[in-house]
Amino acid sequence: MFRDRHDAGQQLATRLQNYAGRDDVTVLGLPRGGVPVAYEVAQSLKVPLDIFVVRKLGVPGHSELAMGAIASGGVRVLNELLILNLHMPEEMIEAVTAQETQELERREREYRGDRPPLNLRDKVVILIDDGLATGATMRAAMQALRRHEPAQIVIAVPVAPRETSAELRDPATDVVCLQTPDPFLAVGNWYSDFNQTTDETVRGLLTASRYRQ
Which of 5-19, 20-34, 93-107, 139-153 is least confident?
A: 139-153
Give the three-state DSSP class for 113.
coil
Domain with CATH 3.40.50.2020 in the chain: 5-55+117-212
Verdict on whether the full-model pTM lies above 0.95: no
Which of 98-102, 114-118, 121-125, 200-204 has the lowest average pLDDT?
A: 114-118
Quick one: which H or E segment has residue 137?
A: helix 136-146
In contact, 35 and 127? CB cutoff 8 Å: no
Q: What is the pLDDT of residues 16-67, one digit of tens each?
A: 999 999 999 999 999 999 999 999 999 999 999 999 988 889 899 887 788 8
Where does the pLDDT of residue 12 fall: very low under 50, low under 70, confident under 90, or very high at 90 and above?
very high
Q: What is the CATH number of domain 5-55+117-212?
A: 3.40.50.2020
DSSP state of 190: G
* Residue-wise pLDDT tens digits, 154-209: 999 999 999 999 999 888 899 999 999 999 989 999 999 999 999 999 999 998 98
Contacts of 176 (CB under 8 A, 6+ apart): 12, 15, 16, 154, 155, 156, 157
Q: Where are the alpha helices (DSSP H) in 4-121?
A: 5-13, 34-45, 80-86, 90-112
38 touches 193 (CB < 8 A): no
- Answer yes or no: is pLDDT of 148 > 70: yes
Interatomic CA distance for residues 151 and 69, integer angstroms? 24
What angle (nearest 5°) sits at the alpha carbon of residue 114, between those of residues 113 and 117? Answer: 90
